[in-house]
Structure 1
């Protein structure tokens, strides 16, 4: 291809978007208000490195429900509990479709994930498998010893460093613990060594996926430019997905060899065994390749987010020694020093619960919910959100709404003491509440909570 041809294919879509932005007239439908924007780019120049913060400041000027044009993509953004309740509570079916970013589509078999597809028959089957074999009350009881074991490994590691006077990288060891908990749950093996030395590689791989997936990407704002991958995000994230799939392929290969040779007298009966059994069932829709997409999704969702929350909680406690001392005193009073804290103690430690809630409020692992797409024209608070438009819910902004929180930027666990706010996803003023997960995961969270209630 001649250089002039290359420039032609780049400039042609840009010219197309210029003409469209100059002459496109809005429809007669009443869209939410928003900034006027620039030709071609729309409101992209207004977005800083932290998109959720930029959208938060836009909502301050234009209201809790705004319309933006981000390049060629029209987007509606919700930034208040009332609007969020309308979109993902009252009209969740109308907004159940997904806008899949180019970085997510770059992974192998993205159609076999839970968070990025609509609720068709194949998705419901995957959800059923996850619900039965990961989130049921029976599995929760069976895995309680595993959770205790991984936390104890973390504490032993911290104590070892404390005795030698070395600093502890909280993010690294928390990520290693979370990763081992997920890997042990899925295929009965630790993927990080007891000293957490090998955690760094996996932390970097998963972090790359999270970071690349969250970066503003021209390919998402100008779909006709996806082929060029101008920022290199698709190429970069592909290598991270490839590495995770290589690790999983080794584990799957070993398990299949053990099963074929009959070396495993007693089956592990873990989630990998369940998935491999499904692969052998005709018409199940599972095979050796697509089960890796589901496992990778569970890895990313279950490890990095947990580590981020633990790291933020520790940072806030170190910033506020009085809060740390109050939490320590509560544990000493309720549990004492003769035994470690058990899961059954959590209900009797309200201040510790308040610290966790406040951390999740102030530092949500996912400040923007995964992008929705309207299936039909839908009326929300007097405005019409047209079919096919992208919809974002800014959980970070909702958790900082001064209409609901006193000094919303401050870390104050006391705001939750004596409060009826919980983790069940019913409190829309909480940006961290579990409703920020996509519709598919909210079903799984509901199944998880039902299992917990049956246990208590």
Structure 2
């Protein structure tokens, strides 16, 4: 009898629980994934991805076909969510920033980060938090930015001196080559205290063979850091290198290590032996910072990949924006004329433009904002990985999903920008008294925001604005003979200008103002 009572109670409880679950499931509306193609079991849309290169154009074409500002494509077991709407982007990077604060684990990022020991591309966790704190508090804080002003000023003068020599000797200037190496020189000066990896600097101020090899390796690695490699979505294929991506990343990383590591190893030794005691650059900061017990906070295995990561982060975005801006202005002389008039009004022709002039160069910065908007350096931001299930714009985003904010789509969204495909700097002038290059509302992306945003927007602003200002103030530019317009086409495989911009320059200032190469 007692046993029967227990059994009846158990059955009753079970029935009540089942009934409750049934009622709950009926009442609860199922939240669907964002719209997108279904794909095959296990492999998802990988076959279509492999046939559709570059992948970013394929993903954007899917969104256009579906007429959606958020889409989901399954690659292997990973949901890849693409976003072209600023409102949805703000929901992700502002309202739910902590939830989307991780990065994917890929072959390329593992190689570059030495097993995820860095800041930018390391998945969320204790190592990321440690390195992010070091970078934010010790390297890119306002005090450090002011402290390193003289090093940046040296590189601004070096750029002007190098351009002077090119204009005097041949007149012809490859803007892609110049802008990339100016940015590379600046970050090398801040990081290592030197602009060149060669013992014998080029007499005209240009890069050496070593610096060119280093720059080419950086851009090769940047192009494949997140490139929809098949083994990133089907990990069992890692090692087969079916895309050829793995070898490219290993080789590019090794070239950068070849130039960075001897400097880092020698500097660590100098600090340990007491032969160096003064902090002069970022590398010194990394080596000298201590933990609570007074021991070095960072190991060489953490310093080396973090420096590589930060050196890689500097050249592509500013150089791309300035090259596109110059190309657009040559085709629209009225914009170029207004920029020159602003420089003449704010700075004049009796001194060179300096960082202290940046707050007043609103039209020059509006030109750069428009270049960032219309001609982003990459189609997507680096992926944000969901740390748990989430709901975004009413859609279900599963844990582990890769969320890609479309720089291309945000900046060209016709619901946000009138006449979005036209280059119109004036659209940025009516918003506030001082124009800034950052865009907190994510209507386009210059330097991203949130926990995974750009760590040094002040440095990015200084490099980008000074580069364009020095190019415009010091020289008059025109196209080579027999050319009347720049073909404003993107490359077939990335977002860079299809052909490097080459122009002919003439001196615009009194000759005594141009610095000499040191």
TM-score (ref. length: structure 2): 0.74
Return the offset for 1:368: 0.6
Compared with structure 1, are the counterparts of its residues 33 and 161 closer, same or farther at alpha carbon in structure 2 (3 Å cutoff)?
same
Counterpart-to-counterpart distance in 2, 1:285 and 1:140: 22
Question: 2:264 touches 2:304 (CA, 8 Å); kept in 1?
Answer: no
1:426 to 433, 440, 443: 440
Deviates more, 1:182-191 or 1:301-310: 301-310
| Aligned position for 2:288 | 277
Counterpart-to-counterpart distance in 2, 1:86 and 1:396: 18
| Aligned position for 1:45 | 48
Compared with structure 1, are the counterparts of its residues 258 and 375 closer, same or farther at alpha carbon in structure 2 (3 Å cutoff)?
closer
Compared with structure 1, are the counterparts of its residues 320 and 80 closer, same or farther at alpha carbon in structure 2 (3 Å cutoff)?
same
Q: Does 1:33 align with 2:47?
A: no
Return the offset for 1:121: 3.7
| Aligned position for 2:22 | none
> 5 Å matches for 1:83-98?
83-98=88-103
Classify the secondary structure of the residue corresponding to 2:187: helix
Compared with structure 1, are the counterparts of its residues 412 and 447 closer, same or farther at alpha carbon in structure 2 (3 Å cutoff)?
closer
1:228 to 240, 248, 262: 240
Compared with structure 1, are the counterparts of its residues 355 and 423 closer, same or farther at alpha carbon in structure 2 (3 Å cutoff)?
closer
| Aligned position for 2:514 | none
Counterpart-to-counterpart distance in 1, 2:125 and 2:398: 23
Counterpart-to-counterpart distance in 2, 1:447 and 1:359: 18
Counterpart-to-counterpart distance in 1, 2:346 and 2:289: 46
| Aligned position for 1:138 | 143
Select the structure that is richer in helix.
1
Question: 1:108 touches 1:293 (CA, 8 Å); kept in 2?
Answer: yes
Q: Name structure 2 gaps, 5 residues minimum.
A: 1-28, 461-518
1:280-328 C-alpha deviation (Å, 9 max, x unpaired):
9777552112210100000000123322222222222222222111111
Counterpart-to-counterpart distance in 2, 1:423 and 1:318: 22
Compared with structure 1, are the counterparts of its residues 440 and 373 closer, same or farther at alpha carbon in structure 2 (3 Å cutoff)?
closer
| Aligned position for 1:321 | 333
| Aligned position for 1:454 | none
Counterpart-to-counterpart distance in 2, 1:260 and 1:94: 41
> 5 Å matches for 1:46-445?
48-62=52-66, 63-107=68-112, 109-191=114-196, 193=201, 194-198=205-209, 199-259=211-271, 263-264=275-276, 267-278=278-289, 286-420=298-432, 422-435=436-449, 439-442=451-454, 444-445=455-456
Counterpart-to-counterpart distance in 2, 1:409 and 1:151: 32
Question: 1:186 touches 1:271 (CA, 8 Å); kept in 2?
Answer: yes
Return the offset for 1:41: 5.1
Question: 1:30 touches 1:384 (CA, 8 Å); kept in 2?
Answer: yes
Question: 1:77 touches 1:391 (CA, 8 Å); kept in 2?
Answer: yes
Question: 1:423 touches 1:434 (CA, 8 Å); kept in 2?
Answer: no
Return the offset for 1:28: 5.6
Question: 1:358 touches 1:412 (CA, 8 Å); kept in 2?
Answer: yes
Counterpart-to-counterpart distance in 1, 2:143 and 2:254: 34
| Aligned position for 1:24 | none
Compared with structure 1, are the counterparts of its residues 138 and 432 closer, same or farther at alpha carbon in structure 2 (3 Å cutoff)?
closer
Deviates more, 1:401-410 or 1:133-142: 133-142
Q: Name structure 1 gaps, 5 residues minimum.
A: 1-26, 450-456
Counterpart-to-counterpart distance in 1, 2:112 and 2:272: 29
Return the offset for 1:57: 2.7
Compared with structure 1, are the counterparts of its residues 446 and 300 closer, same or farther at alpha carbon in structure 2 (3 Å cutoff)?
closer
Question: 2:113 touches 2:122 (CA, 8 Å); kept in 1?
Answer: no
Classify the secondary structure of the residue corresponding to 2:238: helix
Counterpart-to-counterpart distance in 1, 2:76 and 2:207: 43
Return the offset for 1:108: 5.2
Question: 2:39 touches 2:45 (CA, 8 Å); kept in 1?
Answer: yes
TM-score (ref. length: structure 1): 0.84
Compared with structure 1, are the counterparts of its residues 75 and 44 closer, same or farther at alpha carbon in structure 2 (3 Å cutoff)?
farther
Return the offset for 1:425: 4.0
